[in-house]
Structure 1
Amino acid sequence: MDHGRVQCFHRTPHCGVSRSTYYNWLQPPKKKEKHDSKPVGRPIPGYCFTKQGKKVSDEQIKEWIMEAIAGDGYSYGYMKPTHHLRQEYGLVINKKRVYRLCKELDILKPQRERKSIYPGTETLQPPISYGKWISNMDISQGGISSLV
């Protein structure tokens, strides 16, 4: 059964469409699967090592971070706790891991707003005069024969 489809080699040269484009057009659109349920990237191991090779869990590291900032009333970044963990406890720990742990503990400072590299450049643009645009559009719509 044909279902209203015409054989490709008879119609596509007359329409100016390649055969692959025609058959691609006939296929129903593919549905994109949502991968929200699966985590992206490798799984989090949940531990790191000291310089002596001893395993330390992420929960212990979180406790150490909270002890380090317990006396202060303000939030920290992630670089100071990273330095503290390396110096005081001899951890071999990456700053990205400390950032993730601090984010889970909700102790990070609010991120600063980035300032423009070139402040004031938006005022250097010449003002737009819409009259010129309209007159150019009118001339182009009228054609060359009406101008002569």
Structure 2
Amino acid sequence: MDLKNCRELINRMEHNLYHLESIRVMSFNMYEKIFYDNLIRMEKQKINVLKKFLCNMEEVEKMDIDYKNMRQQSFTLEELKKYDSKNGNKAYIAIDGIVYDVTYNAAWAAGTHFGLKAGNDLSNEISSCHNKELILKGLEQVGILKSN
């Protein structure tokens, strides 16, 4: 469950809780009141569990973003050239100033993709022949390309 869906679920549950409390207030039967009291208590517990889950997930997401930012490196064009997948090196490409790892991407077997070679800034080539956003969505960002 993603964070947005979790928030929506909590909102719906709180809305339903409001209705349960309204029904309980209108009830005249003591046993019905006890029933709704127990139901309301259980729903509040579920909502609290979901809120704790949401807080934990937000913290994990924040830590994941921080971790990715910590791992980011800066590459010059000369440094990027080393990441051509040859001699056991990883395969990196740069697009619009961001460096991506294509080492384990099947489309980049042996560090090449339709004549394009890893270890280079391929901003112009990728944007002129592909749907750039679709391609980049599946690649891991590993750093940025320093401007000379």
Tell me the TM-score range normalised by the shorter chain: under 0.3
More helix by share: 2
TM-score in terms of structure 2 length: 0.23
Q: Name the structure, 1 or 2, with higher relative contact order (CA <8 Å, separation 6+).
A: 2
TM-score scaled by length of structure 1: 0.23
